[in-house]
Structure 1
Amino acid sequence: MSVEPGSTLLKDQYAAQVGADLETNAKEQERIRGEIHTLNGRLVTLEGDHALLTTMQATLTGAQAAARIGAAAGPKASSKGKPAARVSRPRSSQRTKQDVPPTAATTPASPATTSPKRRASVEAPLRELVLALFTHQDPRSVADVQAELGAAHPQRTRPSAQLVRNTLEALVAKSHLSRSRVEGAVRYTALPAAPAGAPVQPTPSAGNAEAGA
């Protein structure tokens, strides 16, 4: 039984089409895998930023609440005429903490007994790590600081550029850093330690610096 040339040609065309479709499918899978990997990395970065920002917000909120409580307690304390009378307690209940022998629950763990995993979980605040990079007077941009943080602390989640910029601006507000424009880009430089009692010179805001440039 002979095979017609037309049928052979049609099979070759189908085989070529199937091969091209397979190659396109493989390339599409590789592209999607790359996008998933990139999105996963972005998600990890955003989760780390969220945790750090939540901690900063809780710290600032707690400081404001403590200041309000202190301001409200001041007038009340000054309006009291006499201190409250002491209430005598039975002698059996007057034991102090010194009378109680230390136990495993009350004795603090020494550094030698603390697990390395627990010590590694305690991370320094981002502002301290950023300030530690400014050991000399070379100006740095946000991208420079972000890259140096990743190189110096590879075990930490790399912070986003916006989070690094916010941290740098907070250090400028506290007169730890100064801000300037160099070749059209905003750069930050460490300020020398001010003498004791010297007035702190305010640093212009980001909007004023850009307007002046």
Structure 2
Amino acid sequence: MTSQYINQVTGDLEQNVKEQERITAEIAGLQQQLAALQHDHTVLVNMRQALGVAGAAPEPASTGSATVPSPRKKATGEPRGKATAEPRGKAKKAAAEQPTAKAKGRSARTPAAGKDVATKKAQPTLADLVRRHLTEQNEPRSAAEVATALGEAHPDRGIKTNVVRTTLENLVARSQAQRSKQGTSVFYTAPHAPEPEAAPAPKAEAQPEAAG
């Protein structure tokens, strides 16, 4: 009975380490996304200062709690000591119940969590969406028009007009978009979009001189 329980505890330890490795990989993926957002935050703050907007910029959330825990090493000696100290009846009951509960927890959590991380990694950035939208247009678009189109195409991202406008200005600063004004309105186009040219005025035909 003791050897059977020891084998069971050893198997649970291996499953625990694998679960820690899976969660560690997910945290690493989330940290990459956080680093990308922090980079965008720095760019947006610089754009805000360049545009002369007054007021303090919102500070990013602290990342002190996002430290990735290192996986714990297998410690087969400690569970064996605990196993021999427990009453045999209680050890037998725990050995029968723990595998089932852990298997259910893994089957409920693992696919959903893995799918979430994969979906977040596959999503393009807002700058990519804006740049792609401008490329697909045949005429200039305002920030509000771009935000409306992207909001309808990606309703789950909660796209805001002011964020889109800042992103457009950032693309203009990097020569990845062009800005033009029509009256008091500002419009944006892809960098390779040709500017509309006015049609040349027809030349007057030369009249023959009257005979003297």
TM-score category, normalised to shorter length: 0.3 to 0.5
Q: Normalised by the size of structure 2, how large is the TM-score?
A: 0.37
Q: Normalised by the size of structure 1, how large is the TM-score?
A: 0.37
More helix by share: 2
